């Protein structure tokens, strides 16, 4: 079965119905990406029309949760893009070390691999004990996985390579214990985590942070929504706070660009300067 044709009028009606019923606003998301994900979900569920999908979603909140899991992006891994973590260790952590207390926001944390990666790096740099890492996502189901900190042991070989390439000082296996086919993360890493549902589309700033990490989320938003989210991040950063984006994302040509200094152009790390 090939991709399902999705008409714009039906698509807009579906988004409006979801907004009214569940308060999730997908209007600013990239249409091409949403079309692909909705089409895939419908094929997997053997649905033939958006009208049928809409009826199922509005009638069953658990079904909507399954839909939400499909259309929100949850691709992640530990120490993804190792060069980013090398740059963070070199260019950001020395400043964080000078602060008496460090607040970090991992926005769009998905199943938590990125959050645990930050915690490992911070522990090795003696920053974790004075840090609070706020990990948020729109999807409550992936947040539950992040809270549990249990991952397939089959992923750990690749994650270990990433960890070494990211400048890891020890062995990744020092941070988890294996049980059957699962890797259970050391609870010491997560004792300063705070997991919470947060929707970047319509939820506001909830604290002031020394570092905000939001990687590979903005690429799924249209320009107007990207600007809205970037302004939210600026509101949440004091002067000299750091912002880290994905390698295909940038502050270039954004409304807030003038308020930031480029720390690492390749790794998309910025620091607010006014």
pLDDT tens column, 59-105: 999 899 889 888 876 668 999 999 999 999 999 999 999 999 999 99
Alpha-carbon distance of 30 to 225, in angstroms, equals 10
| Domains of the chain and any CATH numbers | 8-71 (1.10.155), 82-149+187-272 (3.40.50.150)
pLDDT, tens digit (0-9, with 9 covering 90-100), for 206-217: 999 999 999 989
Query: What is the pLDDT, as a whole number, of residue 74?
Result: 66
At residue 2, does pLDDT exceed 80? no
Going by the DSSP 8-state scheme, the letter that residue 196 receives in this structure is: E
Render pLDDT for 43-63 as a digit per residue (tens, 0 to 9).
Answer: 999 998 899 999 999 999 989
Residue 184 φ then ψ, to 5°: -105, 115
Buried b (16+ CB within 10 A) or exposed e, 165-174: ebbbeeebee
Bridge pairing between strands 193-197 and 102-107: unpaired
> ∠74-144-129 over CA atoms, to 5°?
95
Lowest mean pLDDT among 20-24, 70-74, 150-154: 70-74
pLDDT-based confidence at 1, cuts 50/70/90? Answer: low
DSSP label of 219 = G
Helix-helix angle 61-71:140-148, to 10 degrees: 70
Q: Considering only residues 236 and 6, tell me which one the structure prediction assigns the higher pLDDT.
A: 236
Per-residue pLDDT of 195-241, as tens digits, reads 999 999 889 999 999 999 999 899 888 899 999 999 999 999 999 99
Total length of the chain: 274
Sheet holding 260-264: strands in order across? 193-197, 131-137, 102-107, 211-214, 242-245, 269-272, 260-264
Instruction: Identify the CA nearest to 233 among candidates 263, 253, 259, 197.
Output: 259
- Mean of all residue pLDDT scores within the chain: 93
CB 209 within 8 A of CB 236: yes
Give pLDDT, residue 7: 86
pTM value?
0.86
């Amino acid at each position: 079965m090939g991709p399902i044709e999705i008409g714009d009028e039906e698509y807009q009606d579906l988004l409006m119905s979801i907004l009214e019923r569940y308060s999730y606003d997908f209007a600013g998301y990239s249409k091409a990406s949403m079309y692909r994900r909705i089409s895939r979900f419908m094929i997997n569920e053997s649905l033939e029309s958006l009208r049928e999908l809409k009826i199922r979603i509005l009638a069953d909140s658990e079904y909507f949760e399954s839909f939400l899991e499909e259309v929100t992006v949850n691709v992640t891994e530990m120490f993804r893009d190792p060069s980013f973590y090398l740059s963070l260790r070199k260019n950001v952590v020395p400043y964080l070390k000078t602060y008496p207390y460090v607040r970090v926001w991992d926005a769009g944390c998905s199943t938590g691999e990125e959050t645990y990666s930050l915690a490992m790096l911070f522990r090795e740099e003696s920053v974790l004990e004075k840090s609070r890492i706020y990990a948020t996502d729109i999807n409550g189901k992936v947040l539950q996985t992040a809270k549990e900190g249990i991952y397939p042991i089959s992923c750990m070989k690749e994650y270990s390579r990433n960890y070494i390439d990211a400048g890891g000082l020890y062995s990744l296996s020092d941070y988890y214990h294996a049980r059957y086919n699962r890797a259970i993360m050391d609870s010491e890493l997560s004792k300063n985590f705070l997991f919470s549902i947060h929707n970047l589309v319509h939820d506001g700033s909830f604290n002031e942070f020394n570092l905000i990490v939001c990687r590979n989320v903005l690429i799924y938003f249209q320009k107007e929504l990207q600007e809205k989210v970037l302004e939210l991040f600026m509101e949440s950063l004091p002067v000299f706070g750091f912002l880290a984006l994905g390698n295909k994302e940038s502050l270039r040509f954004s409304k807030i660009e003038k308020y930031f200094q480029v720390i690492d152009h390749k790794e998309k790390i910025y620091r607010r300067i006014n």
